[in-house]
Chain A
Amino acid sequence: MKKQSKIEDVVFGKKVTITIDEQLNQLKGKVLAPGKLARANKNLRKVTSLPK
Chain B
Amino acid sequence: MKYEIYNNYVAADDLSVFDFISSGRHGAIQKRIVFMPTELGHVYNLAFGDVDENGEVDDYIVSDNGDRNKILATVVAAISKYTERYPGRYVYFQGSTMERTRLYRMAIGINLDELSETFEIFCQTEDGTQFVRFAQNIQTNGFLVKRKIQ
Contacts and interface: CB of A to CB of B under 8 A. Distances in A.
Interface of A: 9, 11-21, 24-25, 27-29, 31-34, 36-37, 39-41, 43-51
Given A13-B1, A39-B94, A41-B38, A19 B12 contact: no
Contacts, number: 139
Given A36-B57, A44-B43, A51-B131, A16 B5 contact: yes
Interface of B: 1, 5, 7-14, 16-19, 32, 34, 36, 38-40, 42-43, 45, 47, 49, 55-57, 59, 73, 76-77, 80-81, 90, 92, 94, 96, 114, 118, 120, 122, 124, 127-133, 141-142, 144, 146
Contacts of B118: 12
B59 A33 contact: yes
A48 B36 CA distance: 20
